[in-house]
Homo-oligomer: A and B are copies of this chain.
């Protein structure tokens, strides 16, 4: 059995708890929280809720600690800290800062003889794997990543910070014509605006100026200004009824040609009713790999690129060769 600990009990932490129940060789030992443990009610019977400080001894009975904090401020601090004490895995997704995060985590894990895996999930994660495999196999080509249709938490939060907005959800939507152009192998050069549209569902505060809110959204730099954005005003009741989920997904497409000019297309896509529950399923499969690697004496920081696929499976090498090859 691989003994799992969770640090942080938000959407991702609850997803990890669910994912563990689908894997007979995994066991959730404890949820660690920075809140008062008495206020955190977990879904699984028999799972301890402990203060995050309990981890500091390095002696908690866990094989892998799954770090469920955010990439902005939690993980840059937490992952190196706990990689010096436990085998850890995170879903750090600030692409530009990955080299720096890797270096900090690698130093901590290597020094302590622990294994860490960063930036796991579906993007970064499964999409990264598909970009790598496809690029290596079709060196003469181009690849494209499209996201959605799905809820972007960052963009939803940005709308909620606007004066006059009571609540909001934002969907990122790939442009079908752009996706078709990519699949055709024509290697289109696509602007940000041509690849995705943004669809906003906004609940106004009493007396707010709808046109001012709409303008503040569509002109917001980085988040919306470079996109075709539609803004819909609805009631809180409608938002809660029709937009409560956290669906997501997307496409990684690489088109290329052989040296003889034969066109080839490799496409990978995900359609996910729950982004955090799927991300958790990926993390738990990789937690298995981390525990195995640690058992073999490995140490240091890894990414999905470093993990041989067989390590993700609860089946023996003989079984996967017989049934999945």
Contact = CB atoms under 8 A, between A and B. Distances in A.
A153 interface: no
A210 interface: no
B135 A325 contact: no
Interface in A257-278: 258-260, 262-274, 277-278
Contacts of A258: 15, 18-19, 22, 273-274, 277-278, 280-281
A71 B310 CA distance: 24
A133 B309 contact: yes
Nearest to A259: B18
A140 B21 CA distance: 11
Interface residues of A, number: 66
Contact of A320 (B23, B305, B318): B305
Contact of A321 (B21, B102, B129, B136): B102
A95 B22 contact: no
Interface string A122-159: 00101011111101111110000000000000000000
Contact of A305 (B98, B282, B317): B317
A135 to B, nearest CB: 7
A165 to B, nearest CB: 28
A324 interface: yes
Given A259-B22, A281-B258, A312 B268 contact: no
Given A132-B309, A307-B308, A320-B305, A273 B262 contact: yes
A325 B312 contact: no
A143 to B, nearest CB: 9
Given A274-B262, A308-B306, A99 B140 contact: no
A303 B316 CA distance: 13
Interface in A285-299: 285, 288
Task: Please give the count of copies of this chain that the complex contains.
Answer: 2
A172 interface: no
A325 B265 contact: no
B310 A260 contact: no
A99 B318 contact: yes
A304 interface: yes
Given A19-B258, A258-B278, A132 B308 contact: no
A322 interface: yes
A129 B224 CA distance: 37
Given A266-B270, A277-B260, A313-B136, A305 B285 contact: no
A277 B256 CA distance: 12
Nearest to A92: B325
Indicate the member of A19, A271, A309 with the most B CB atoms within 10 Å. Answer: A309
Given A130-B268, A264-B281, 10 more contacts: A19-B259, A23-B139, A126-B137, A136-B285, A136-B312, A137-B278, A262-B273, A264-B272, A305-B310, A307-B308
